[in-house]
Chain A
């Protein structure tokens, strides 16, 4: 069950103005039975003053759809058309003490019904006032204008949010890519109006070349992390220490450079890095490490440039 606020429950169980205004002079119909919610908003407007004298609704839908309709009628009664037309869906949500994110479309529907009622009052036909532009979501019959408006007014940034507010993309999902594009288009305009896009990091353009040394250090850091997390790391270090004790007497040495799986890379120094001594040392280290770790060690030996 949805976690509704007390105010939502109150407006659902005790809806205000749920009736038919027979002599309404502004009627706004939105939604359809196939989509699972529909709302008729009826207004009685004084033509001289444009004051909304009475407002009532009929709603088919879930608890939050009924509560949003009820709240809307309470909010607009006694206001002038001009005042009422400024009401946003967010104000309906606030009036109700919040709605679950998945139910935001109920507040959008209320706001749309108000627009449709005002259009009807001004003599527009149903089909005129419901022309939503290019059809984006075929499952729920949502046009581009409704999507753009919801993004613009509520600063939506994700497809999921657009679905929550308009239902677009909530069916087969084939329009989600297109919705993504629309989000980008609207935000281009929003950003021009000085609204920063939250969580949107523009692709960085590299301003200067990273120095070769820094790049090497970065690679080394990644490789060091892999080396140290190797299950044989500690054993290899210990074994190399033992080997070093022996080698030092000959004025030679071996340093660990990296471990990748069973591949161990080492750097040979001093006498061990030259000629026959080198081959012998490599064979010796490989044998020692394999015995010590119980793994078939593959040894890569490089020589440190001296001087």
Chain B
């Protein structure tokens, strides 16, 4: 395969909370570490030295990006899921006298599933309540903290709704009470300014592939002085905190991606936010019976989650795909599970709408034409599907003499 012939895949990609396109500058920076500098950073000879330096440079770039005080607070991992697992595991093993975790019901599965496992092994997990917009009450966290609390873990931004949680405030509250604080910041980095040295956050996880670096590289930030037990045991890499030979090309790529993300943050806060707002206003103006889920006051600038009533999300996605538009859905049918998204359920979004939620997530590569094209085709798609839906009765003749009718507010459960 001649790589020069490769072109970006066609289509309108509005699924950047799932993964992002690799920035060509990131790919270019990685290439020397695939072709030339193959050495092991732990080696003492000339093959190892430039590699070790490259990793050190990337560590500085990442530290600068999230405002860490010291580069050695950055641990490179394989993905944010590994970082999340490590944070929970470490907090429990480093404080053997504590066995409670406080978290939220809207976390990513990397936290949710790990907490489920831990709770089946005797750890007590508390879930903070969220309201219909997904907001939580910091006071509730304070009330739940006790001498057995090992860790509070709250995501910085939600992947489905984009809701931003008051993580610096929560971290300070936990810290005042001597409790460790971790945040899954996968959806927050590159979208919000983050300056860790001004917060009390002890651990933070994020991954490369959401910020235009490749998949397979993640970061766990561990503040100096935080008690830590490694999850991966073996060699002395990452100062003994994460064993395993360093994934050098990806670490280098991540460093560059962080630097670019820092430079382009204003683009997200300005242009991308304006495009997202245009998409939101356009949808609400053109399509009846739909609403935005989550907390529109505190939301990442690239994310829009809309619930279309009386239609099902996977069907909308299939239609969008026909027009080359990629988005995602919290509906049951678009996933392996038969249940709608746990985030929508936690927020109490009614089933009639939860099955029809569509998430549009933009990036710095999204253009105005792409948003316009989406606004052009989406009203027609929703209209077509509603014409098919027995819950949508407008403009349809009624059949007389029936002893049953479909009702979108019905609580009947029947598969």
Contact = CB atoms under 8 A, between A and B. Distances in A.
Interface of A: 1-2, 4, 9, 12-13, 15, 18, 20-24, 27, 29-40, 42, 58-63, 65-66, 102, 105, 109, 125-127, 130, 137-142, 163, 166-168, 170-171
A21 B314 CA distance: 27
23 contacts: A2-B314, A13-B319, A20-B396, A20-B397, A27-B402, A29-B390, A31-B414, A32-B413, A34-B413, A40-B390, A40-B406, A42-B399, A58-B388, A58-B389, A58-B390, A59-B388, A59-B389, A60-B312, A60-B390, A139-B413, A141-B414, A170-B339, A171-B338
B9 interface: no
A170 B337 contact: yes
A60 B333 contact: no
Contact of A137 (B319, B333, B396, B415): B415
A171 to B, nearest CB: 6
B interface, size bucket: 35 or more
B297 interface: no
B352 interface: yes
Contacts, number: 135
Contacts of B310: 60
Contacts of A137: 415
Interface string B298-315: 000000000000111011
Nearest to A125: B403
Contacts of A20: 396-397, 399
Nearest to B407: A33
A141 B338 contact: no
Best-surrounded residue of A12, A30, A36 (most CB of chain B within 10 A): A36
Interface in B364-400: 387-391, 396-399
Among A127, A140, A168, residue most surrounded by chain B Cβ atoms (within 10 Å) = A140
Given A12-B318, A60-B312, A140 B415 contact: yes
Query: Secondary structure of the B side of the interface?
Result: loop
B322 interface: yes
A172 B69 CA distance: 45
A35 B413 contact: yes
B237 interface: no
A168 B415 contact: yes
Contact of A31 (B322, B398, B415): B415
Nearest to B389: A60
A59 B411 CA distance: 18
B322 A13 contact: yes
Nearest to A30: B414
A37 B413 contact: no
B43 interface: no
B10 interface: no
A121 to B, nearest CB: 12
A12 B399 contact: no
B388 A15 contact: yes
A36 B412 contact: no
B351 A60 contact: no
A264 to B, nearest CB: 31
Given A1-B318, A24-B399, A33 B333 contact: no
B404 interface: yes
B212 interface: no
Contacts of B331: 36, 62
B321 A1 contact: yes
A18 B387 contact: yes
Contacts of B176: none
B337 to A, nearest CB: 7
Nearest to A35: B415
Given A141-B414, A171-B339, A63 B322 contact: no
Given A12-B318, A33-B355, A22 B414 contact: no
B139 interface: no
B222 interface: no
A26 to B, nearest CB: 11
A63 B355 CA distance: 13
Contacts of B389: 58-60
B219 to A, nearest CB: 30
A29 B315 contact: no
A1 B413 contact: no
B412 to A, nearest CB: 4
Contacts of A167: 338, 415
B321 to A, nearest CB: 6
A151 B414 CA distance: 18
Nearest to B333: A62
A172 to B, nearest CB: 9
B334 interface: yes
Contact of A142 (B352, B410, B412, B415): B415
Contacts of B284: none
**B315, B332, B388: which has the most chain A beta carbons within 10 Å?**
B388
Contact of A66 (B317, B388, B397): B388
A163 to B, nearest CB: 7
Contacts of B312: 36-37, 60-62, 65
B214 interface: no
A33 B399 contact: no
